[in-house]
Structure 1
């Protein structure tokens, strides 16, 4: 049975266009929440390397166009290694083509290796070891054998050989018991006794086998590249944005948002014969403790103790890498902390300007002063054949500057004077405050990483009280400091990207 009526589709009107959408906040809109991780952007640059024999290798997925080693190609964790090999001339004698590299790359018909070199030295003993992270060989092309290939074109390699793969995130240790993240490209050499050395290099190698008159020849073409895993902080760095000009960052945020700061306490101990009491040292840094290599990291220092002890410390205190906070921007010839009393009934402040002036010439001539510094220390640990060596070095030095006095303070000649009620009380409790910023040196391009049982790199933000390095040949026993040295080390993590960077390609 067939139907004589034809069904027709209902009529549709043109739908209204979808509303305009933008990732940027428009007028009248408000951003409620953001993960801070924008989508990855495809890299449009390429790396090109040519050789006189007519071989050319092009690597895609680069940030910029690079030709013949002008700079080194860079790959991040699980980055896409893709490209092609071109034969411009003399391809008739090619028998086989392999892709080989110093790291792990799972490309069909290719070979990739990874090698980590380590060396430690000590008194009377040294050890070294090279670890192959991975070594697999894959053939990209081979000349057909037998009678299957009859045309000349089938006997020659194609004009282009393409390859593509994603970098793995880990490799297995020597025993194959656990997975270890691929280490970044690096070379660390710390000489001395003991000494250590660690190097991890990466390269892509093209091996071309050609027919010779007597035997086949293999030639290797190498392209070094840098492996740089990327990471970013989970929270933004606290800044002066939105803070009243002239107000210290710490004072503006510690009461309203104390969670922004991480505090570490220790005690500066006086020597027994000094007759002084101990001083509490508080060191504040941003609570996340994860910073981008280029971040300017704020910190705050507060010393709490009796007026007598603080004045004794202050008379010999010298701040390392101090910058004046005045508008002129000139370096202060005699920088000071702000000193203010915490127990004065009149809200006044306390110091001993006269004793400071009397002691200044003596301190300068005797060089018996105490230095206060903030620095970024990098600790490197290398283990080879059950020998372990670790050493530290400085990768950044902080700038310490004085904090402006409270608006209701009475001061004379740029120094604070005590109120009459507190002037004769040496046991009153006072605070001595300072602040500053620190950033990593520009030549440091890798952050924290760890290879269990092989290499470990850690970073610390260190506040240190100690005798000044300019004392010369005097031994520590000859230096008449009234306090023992003190070091406060706070572990931090340095990463490649900032929280607010956009876009971030991971």
Structure 2
């Protein structure tokens, strides 16, 4: 039987490259812009002093200072107002972490130190220094301190004046230095320097979105895995009446635990106990109760010479509104004195990005953590049989909100 060979196969041509820009002959049929997409055009930021001009390219027009993300490269151009007698031109990217405790001293930690020589007469074979020099220098992503490699922190500044006073700051600076030729008999060469502050803001975003529905119960029914239930108890004093019971507190927050600085974080609160205990809170419907609060706090820890010090500050407080009880709920009437009753609220909390420009981080010497706090305080804390109650749940605040793009941003973690 003769051998039958399979037909020859030819490799198919590769698929065309995708581009969000229209190619020749194409037209847009429908376009829906993303709500979280930035509409700010990139611009050049110019800084000038008596002897030079610096141009920072591809900058966000909404920022006051040149701003860069994780692993970003500074691109720009330096213009010299006079290039006579210039021997060399260099740029240096410096970053320094300063931490202090009033009764324990202070410490300065170098974070970044990168130098690039843009022009040198020794390498120019006698040519004159150009009047315009492009520059490019890249932010490192990590630094080493205390035997450990850590990501470099964002630009930030924190200070707490209560004793012992503490302060922490991370500052990034670009320094341009011009070296001039002096007399042949001189042992030193005159130089001039110009420094300006840069903002380093590494981008991070949540791994999935926060789903918002009309009502909490609808959301809990359809996507229960998106909610985290936190149970705690508001206790009573030992001398309290036997008719009083501890108040059971159920606090619901999105289970993702990571939120962008422009995200609106929904929450739901349910308190249940005896009617006598609930009445002690003096809840007036439908106005939001003054005794129940939800807020976000930031805890800052600094360490100097093995001394650790913690400080906390409230970032933002949430807003609440009463939720009508379901039809089959036990009403708040005298006939139900022996049964538990329920009261519910829902609300949102949001941290403004312009007030809190960076999220939490840990570089050993400085640790910044964020918490969402649920607190119930009776109207008269000293005399009320109910004890004040507070529960803090750790969350992570990040620079960006979730986006529906299928690929990762190159500056994301």
Q: With structure 1 as the length reference, what TM-score do the two structures score?
A: 0.68
Matched position secondary structure for 2:384: coil
8 Å contact from structure 2 (residues 151, 363) kept in 1: yes
Higher strand share: 2
- The verdict on how the C-alpha distance between 1:404 and 1:498 changes in structure 2, with shifts beyond 3 A counting, is same
1:51 aligns with 2:17: no
Please identify the structure whose Cα radius of gyration is greater. 1
1:78 aligns with 2:74: no
Q: Choose from 33, 46, 62 the match for 2:59.
A: 62
Q: Choose from 193, 213, 218 the match for 1:220.
A: 193
Hey, what does 1:99 align to over in structure 2? 91
Matched position secondary structure for 1:239: coil
8 Å contact from structure 1 (residues 45, 65) kept in 2: no
Q: Please give the residue correspondences for 1:342-361 in structure 2 after superposition, counting only pairs within 5 Å.
A: none
1:230 aligns with 2:203: yes
| Cα deviation, residue 45, structure 1 | 2.3
What do residues 466-499 of structure 1 show as CA deviations (whole Å, max 9, x unaligned)? 256xx8xxxx6xx211111111111111111111
1:335 aligns with 2:328: no
Q: Choose from 196, 201, 204 the match for 2:171.
A: 201
- The verdict on how the C-alpha distance between 1:18 and 1:224 changes in structure 2, with shifts beyond 3 A counting, is closer
Matched position secondary structure for 1:461: strand
| Cα deviation, residue 417, structure 1 | 5.2
The range that moved more, 291-300 or 155-164, is: 155-164
* Whole-Å separation in 2 of the counterparts to 1:79 and 1:127: 34
Hey, what does 2:385 align to over in structure 1? 482
- The verdict on how the C-alpha distance between 1:41 and 1:480 changes in structure 2, with shifts beyond 3 A counting, is closer
Structure 2 gaps, min length 5: 1-12, 22-27, 31-35
Q: Please give the residue correspondences for 1:103-114 in structure 2 after superposition, counting only pairs within 5 Å.
A: 114=95
- The verdict on how the C-alpha distance between 1:27 and 1:221 changes in structure 2, with shifts beyond 3 A counting, is closer
Q: Choose from 287, 296, 307 the match for 2:255.
A: 287
Q: Please give the residue correspondences for 1:284-323 in structure 2 after superposition, counting only pairs within 5 Å.
A: 284-313=252-281, 315=282, 317=283
Aligned pair count reads 381
Hey, what does 2:348 align to over in structure 1? 437
Hey, what does 2:7 align to over in structure 1? none
Matched position secondary structure for 1:308: helix
Hey, what does 2:9 align to over in structure 1? none
Hey, what does 1:111 align to over in structure 2? none
- State the Cα RMSD in Å: 3.5
1:144 aligns with 2:122: yes
| Cα deviation, residue 135, structure 1 | 3.2
Q: With structure 2 as the length reference, what TM-score do the two structures score?
A: 0.82
Hey, what does 1:393 align to over in structure 2? 313
* Whole-Å separation in 2 of the counterparts to 1:395 and 1:133: 27
* Whole-Å separation in 1 of the counterparts to 2:204 and 2:17: 35
Q: Choose from 153, 164, 179 the match for 2:149.
A: 179
Hey, what does 1:451 align to over in structure 2? 363
What do residues 423-453 of structure 1 show as CA deviations (whole Å, max 9, x unaligned)? 434221221111111111441111111102x
Hey, what does 1:267 align to over in structure 2? 233
8 Å contact from structure 1 (residues 379, 393) kept in 2: yes
* Whole-Å separation in 2 of the counterparts to 1:504 and 1:20: 17
* Whole-Å separation in 1 of the counterparts to 2:205 and 2:46: 30
8 Å contact from structure 2 (residues 280, 378) kept in 1: no
